[in-house]
Amino acid sequence: MTSSVSSSALAPQVTHTDFTSLWLAILEKLSPELQRTEFITWFRDTTILGREEGKVIIGLPLPMVMNWHLEKFQAVTLEKCKEVDSAITQVVYKVDGNLKDNRDRSIDILEHFPDQKRRKLPGKQEVKMAEGLVSKILNPRYLIENFIVGSNNRLAQAACAAVASSPGGKYNPLFLYGGVGLGKTHLLQATGNAILQRNPRATVVYATTEDFTNQVVEAIRTQKMENLRRRYRQVDILIIDDIQFLANKERTQEEFFHTFNTLYEAGKQIIISSDRPPDELKLEDRLVSRFERGMIADVSVPDYETRLAILVEKSKEYELFIDMSVLQFIAEHTTKNVRELEGILMQAVAQYELEQRMPTIKSIADIMSKLNKDPHVQEQEVGFESQDRKKATLQDVMEAVSKYYSVSLDDMMGTSRVREVLLPRQIAMYIGKQHLAISYVRLGEVFGNRDHTTVMNSCGKIEKKIQGDHNVLREVHTLTSELGLR
């Protein structure tokens, strides 16, 4: 830094005859005030369209963008305008669809404001280790604070929080179980992180069952089992992930049993995860009965609200501003586990970074259909009962639509053209055509003897709406999923 004097204090008042340079000067001041993604998202394809004395007219590419500006950025924009040119007293907005990606008219924000720093990740948490012990470094992203609690994991989270505040206390051992991608590793590591934060001198070992097995195998090979045992005795907190993989490994089970007993008797905390409850593990009885002596908590699939809350939290962590309707769409359609939910979000982040394109319902739906390109496989994994479900008929479609929009079947087949009836009617036609391949003529007959060109028009309208209207896309998506037509 050579000078800390504010440049505006010294610079002669610039008169911006050219709106582009005026806008650039303002953006220059705005950019440090906002998060980068926010800045890029809401200020790209913008410009100054005109100026009438103190009033500056800012051009924005979409009505949605204008809503954001009015809600969030108007005050700060005016403040920065004044800093650049004190004669400015008012900022107004105008939507001009022609600004989108129009490099002759609007500023290429990525070129003018290149990414200076990559996304910052929290620093690595060092784990103090007894020499020779294998522990994975705990992932600093996994915290108790950013673990979203719902009815599916409330007990598990509470137990972890209790263990974090008094390790070796009444929840020992702590045994968490549940399906893949439901947050067990997150909770285990978050507990380790929290313990280390309170007591940086604690020896925390986090190992997968595989790590532990490898150590035992190595000790056998080098005939240094005594060493390994001695080292494990110095551990304060032992965290072992995915204990189900101990099945059929007699020698490792035996070693683990001894380690477990030694630590347990010394009042050291042991935390274990598994994909199933203790009594279903294919392990020695004496080990199972040790696990059953402690605290057992399960994690299961989160409900819609919890999924949505997780998405909101994760998108904040990744500094990605995603429209709520898009997050709702993901939460509605990703029901299997949290990892899958995060996977879709990560794809959206990647898409954003590569193409600087904000996720839309359409782009997310594309990502999802690519990920599930073999719907059959997915059904099996989820264990849907839909395998022998019979294919939906037009009658099913009409009933589902009628229920979804609370419009009677009579109305759907009738002549009313009020929006409340028209849209469901058109959507039912569209699904009939698109997913059941029913002809326009036949659809016309069913829907109150309409001409086939009318049906064709209706389907075309929905087709178009799906491209531009999030709600319609989501509604069609929900209906077709419900009907098993996807």
Binding site for ligand ADP (CB under 6 A): 147-148, 153, 180-186, 310, 313, 338-339, 342
Contact status, residue 175 vs residue 329, Cβ threshold 8 Å? no
CB within 8 A of 228, min separation 6: which ones?
Answer: 132, 215, 216, 219, 255
CB of 340 or CB of 411, closer to ligand ADP: 340
CB of 186 or CB of 470, closer to ligand ADP: 186
CB of 313 or CB of 332, closer to ligand ADP: 313
In whole angstroms, the minimum distance from the beta carbon of 241 to Mg ion comes to: 6
The residue with tokens 């993989």 is 245
In whole angstroms, the minimum distance from the beta carbon of 189 to ligand ADP comes to: 8
Contact status, residue 454 vs residue 432, Cβ threshold 8 Å? no
Contact status, residue 286 vs residue 178, Cβ threshold 8 Å? no
Q: Give the one entry of ligand ADP, Mg ion, none that residue 147 binds, where binding means its C-beta sits below a cut-off of 5 to 8 angstroms depending on kind.
A: ligand ADP
Q: Give the one entry of Mg ion, ligand ADP, none that residue 203 binds, where binding means its C-beta sits below a cut-off of 5 to 8 angstroms depending on kind.
A: none
In whole angstroms, the minimum distance from the beta carbon of 232 to ligand ADP comes to: 23
Q: What distance, in Å, lies between the first and last C-alpha atoms of the chain?
A: 59
In whole angstroms, the minimum distance from the beta carbon of 380 to ligand ADP comes to: 19
What distance lies between CA 220 and its chain's CA centroid?
Answer: 44
Burial class of residue 272 (count of CB atoms within 10 Å of its CB; 0-12, 13-18, 19+): buried
Q: Give the one entry of ligand ADP, Mg ion, none that residue 310 binds, where binding means its C-beta sits below a cut-off of 5 to 8 angstroms depending on kind.
A: ligand ADP
In whole angstroms, the minimum distance from the beta carbon of 180 to ligand ADP comes to: 5
CB closest to Mg ion, residue no: 185
Q: At what angle do helices 36-43 and 19-30 cross, to 10 degrees?
A: 160
Q: Give the one entry of Mg ion, ligand ADP, none that residue 342 binds, where binding means its C-beta sits below a cut-off of 5 to 8 angstroms depending on kind.
A: ligand ADP
CB closest to ligand ADP, residue no: 183
Q: Give the one entry of Mg ion, ligand ADP, none that residue 153 binds, where binding means its C-beta sits below a cut-off of 5 to 8 angstroms depending on kind.
A: ligand ADP
CB of 339 or CB of 362, closer to ligand ADP: 339
Six token digits for residue 282: 């294919």
Strand partners, 409: none
CB of 190 or CB of 400, closer to ligand ADP: 190
Quote the CA–CA distance of 352 and 329 in Å, as a whole number: 18
3-state SS class at 437: coil
CB of 27 or CB of 271, closer to ligand ADP: 271
Phi-psi region of 5 (alpha: psi -120 to 50; beta: other; left: phi over 0): beta
In whole angstroms, the minimum distance from the beta carbon of 480 to ligand ADP comes to: 27
Quote the CA–CA distance of 255 and 225 in Å, as a whole number: 9
What distance lies between CA 218 and its chain's CA centroid?
Answer: 40
Interface contacts to Mg ion, rule CB under 5 A? 184-185
Name the phi and psi angles at 359, rounded to 5. -65, 140
In whole angstroms, the minimum distance from the beta carbon of 365 to ligand ADP comes to: 22
Q: Give the one entry of ligand ADP, Mg ion, none that residue 181 binds, where binding means its C-beta sits below a cut-off of 5 to 8 angstroms depending on kind.
A: ligand ADP
Q: Give the one entry of ligand ADP, Mg ion, none that residue 458 binds, where binding means its C-beta sits below a cut-off of 5 to 8 angstroms depending on kind.
A: none
Six token digits for residue 219: 């000790």
CB of 185 or CB of 426, closer to Mg ion: 185
CB of 107 or CB of 311, closer to ligand ADP: 311
Other C-beta atoms lying within 10 Å of the C-beta of residue 411: 18
Six token digits for residue 3: 């000078």
Q: Give the one entry of ligand ADP, Mg ion, none that residue 182 binds, where binding means its C-beta sits below a cut-off of 5 to 8 angstroms depending on kind.
A: ligand ADP
In whole angstroms, the minimum distance from the beta carbon of 361 to ligand ADP comes to: 22
In whole angstroms, the minimum distance from the beta carbon of 71 to Mg ion comes to: 40
Quote the CA–CA distance of 184 and 160 in Å, as a whole number: 10
